Amino acid sequence: MDQLTYWIEQAKPMPGAPGVCQLEVSVETWQQLARDIAADGGRLLALWVDCEPAMTVRVAFLTKSIVLVLALAVAESSAGYPGLADSFPAAARMQRAAADLCGVRADDFDTRPWLRHAAWPTRYFPLAPERQAFEKTEAVSDEYRFVRVTGDGVHEIPVGPVHAGIIEPGHFRFSIVGEKILKLEERLGYVHKGIEQRFTQMQLLVGHRLAARISGDSAVAYSWAYCQALEGMAQVVIPPRAAWLRALALECERIANHLGDLGALGNDAGLSFGLAQFSRLKELWLRAGEAAFAQRYLLDFIVPGGTGMDPSVNGLSGLVTCAGMVGATASEIRTIYDEHAGVRDRFTGAGIVTPELAARLGLTGLAGRASGQSFDLRVDLPCEPYTSLSVTKVWRSNGDVAARVEVRFDELSESLRLVEQIVQQLPDGHHLVDVAAPAAGTMGTGIIEGWRGAVFIALTAAKDGLIGRCHPHDPSWQNWPVLEHAVIGNIVPDFPLINKSFNLSYSGHDL
C-alpha cells in the first residue's frame, strides 16, 4: 500500500457532500501529502483558514477516490505555515486571501495582500474572533506592487475597476508591445463585501439566502451546496422529490448561463445576430422558468430540507416544451456559427490553454473541460439524483475559445435533455422536510457542480443555532490565474472575447 492510500484510509468521513473525509495532519505530513496528491493527479478544491476554536488551515483536494480535507493546526496567528503553491499554483491567492482575513501567513514568496485594498487597516482581521473595531475615517494606504515588464517599446494599459460594459469590477494590468500582450496581471477584490464575516452573524437555517447571493449567476449551485452541508450536519435526508427538483433547478441555471454566454461570445466575435438570437432564447427560457418556479433567477428556491415551492404540472410541462424549442433553435444557430468565416477566425486559436498547462495550473470546471480536464462532479462524484441520471460528460482538448464555445453548446443540449428526463421521472411526494439546527461544533461540506465548475462550501455550527464559520469557494479562484496565461501572445482586442469565453465570477471570488 502506498503512502497516499494509507493516509486516505486514516481520514474520517465528514457530513454533507458524498465522499468527503478529513485528516488532521502535522506540518511534515501536510507538505508531503500535498506533493503526493499533486503527483497522483489530484486537484486543489479549496484552501481556507478557520480561526475558531483553534487557528487551523484547511485544504480540500479532489483525489482519485475521495475529497480529502487536510487540517493543520497553526500554533499562533503570527506563525506561518508551509505554503502549497509549489505543488498547486492556484493555492497562492487563496493563501494571500486567508492572510488578509485571518492573519495567518503561508511561507510562499508572494506576501502581497489580495482581498484587502484600502478598505480596512492591516491590523484588522475580519474573521479573527478578537478583532478590534476601527474608525472608518482611518487612512489606509493602498500601494500594490504590480510586476513590471521592461524593455524597448513595452508599455502598460491599466483597465478597470469600472469596465466599459455591464460587467463586474476588477483591475487588469496589461504589459504590451504594439498590440501583443506580453503579460496580464489581475488585481481583484473590488467587490469584497464581507460575506464570510456576515455569515457568522446569521442563523444556520437562513444562511442559504446569503449563500445564494455569493454569485447571482450560480445561486442554485451555492444554495444547494450550503443546504447539502447543513442537512448532512443535521442528519436530515431530503425527500427524493426535493433532490430531483434541485437538480432540475441546477440544470435550468446552467442552460440560462450558457445561452447568455453563447450570445455574448458571438457578439464579441462581431456577430451581433448571435447576441440577438441567444438573448431572445434566454428570455424565453427565463420566462418558462418563472412560470414553473415563480422566479426568473432561482435565488430563493432551495431551502434547508428541500425546496421552497413545488412547481405545478403545467409549469413543468411548459419548461419541457420550451426546452425542445430552445434546443432546436440553438442547433440552427450553431450551424450558422460553425459556417461563419469571421466567427471561426476569431474563435479558433484564440486564448489557448493546452491540456498540459491546464493540468499544471489546476484549470477546472467548464474551462477545464475545454482543455482536456474531463472532470465533472455530476459524473465523477455524484450526489442524489445524479447517481441515477447518467449525465454525459462533455470535453475537448483544443483549449481555445472555440473549444469553450463547443463545450457550452454540447452542455446546453445535455442539460436540455436532462430537464426533460427529470420532469418525466420526477418522484412524487413531499418537497420539504423540517431541519433542526445541528449541535455547536459540527462541521460539514457541500460540493455542487455549478455551470462554471465545482462550488464548495465548508460550514461549522456555533451555539444558539448560529453559523460559526462558512467558507464558500468559487471555481473562479482556480481559473482566474489561468486567464493570465491564456492571453499571452494574443492581441489586446481579443482580450474581451477570451475573457468572456472563461466568464469567471468576481463576486464569487472576492466575497
Partner 1 sequence: MWKLLRQTGCVGIVTEPPPGSDEALRIADSLQLQIKSIIGRALCIRQIDAGSCNGCELEIHALNNPVYNIEGLGIKFVASPRHADLLLVTGPVSRSMEVALRRTYEATPDPKLVVAIGDCGCTGGIFGENYASTGRVANVIPVNVAVPGCPPSPSRILAGILTAISSPRAITSVSDN
Q: Which residues contribute to the site for partner 1 (CB under 8 A)?
A: 117-120, 124, 126, 134, 161-162, 164-169, 189-195, 197-198, 209-210, 213-217, 219, 260, 273, 275-277, 279-280, 282-283, 286, 296-297, 299, 329, 332-333, 335-336, 339-340, 505-507, 510
Cβ distance to partner 1 smaller for residue 73 or 328: 328
- Which of 143, 138, 145 lies closest to 120 in space, CA to CA? 138
User: Helix (H, G, I), strand (E, B), or coil: what is residue 181?
Assistant: strand
Three cell numbers written together for 257? 448561463
Q: Tell the smallest beta-carbon distance from residue 294 to partner 1 (Å).
A: 12
How far does CA 193 lie from the centroid of its chain? 17
- Which of 13, 49, 16, 62 lies closest to 444 in space, CA to CA? 16
- Which of 420, 445, 458 lies closest to 199 in space, CA to CA? 458
Sign of the Cα pseudo-torsion (17, 23, 25, 31, in order): negative
Cβ distance to partner 1 smaller for residue 197 or 235: 197
Q: Tell the smallest beta-carbon distance from residue 343 to partner 1 (Å).
A: 11
Cβ distance to partner 1 smaller for residue 373 or 503: 503
Three cell numbers written together for 312? 405545478
Cβ distance to partner 1 smaller for residue 62 or 250: 250
Cβ distance to partner 1 smaller for residue 132 or 424: 132
Q: Tell the smallest beta-carbon distance from residue 342 to partner 1 (Å).
A: 11
Cis peptide before 472 (omega within 30 of 0): no
Q: Tell the smallest beta-carbon distance from residue 362 to partner 1 (Å).
A: 23
d(CA 392, CA 403): 17
Cβ distance to partner 1 smaller for residue 371 or 503: 503
Exposure on the CB side of residue 147, measured as CA atoms within 13 A:
9
Q: Tell the smallest beta-carbon distance from residue 495 to partner 1 (Å).
A: 15
Cβ distance to partner 1 smaller for residue 100 or 231: 100
- Which of 363, 360, 368, 416 lies closest to 394 in space, CA to CA? 368
Q: Tell the smallest beta-carbon distance from residue 219 to partner 1 (Å).
A: 7
Q: Tell the smallest beta-carbon distance from residue 355 to partner 1 (Å).
A: 29
Cβ distance to partner 1 smaller for residue 119 or 291: 119
d(CA 366, CA 372): 10
d(CA 489, CA 422): 44
- Which of 276, 274, 257 lies closest to 266 in space, CA to CA? 274
Q: Tell the smallest beta-carbon distance from residue 432 to partner 1 (Å).
A: 21
Q: Tell the smallest beta-carbon distance from residue 190 to partner 1 (Å).
A: 5
Beta pairing class for 56-62 and 67-73: antiparallel
d(CA 8, CA 67): 9
Q: Which residues pair with 511 in a beta bridge?
A: none
Cβ distance to partner 1 smaller for residue 154 or 273: 273
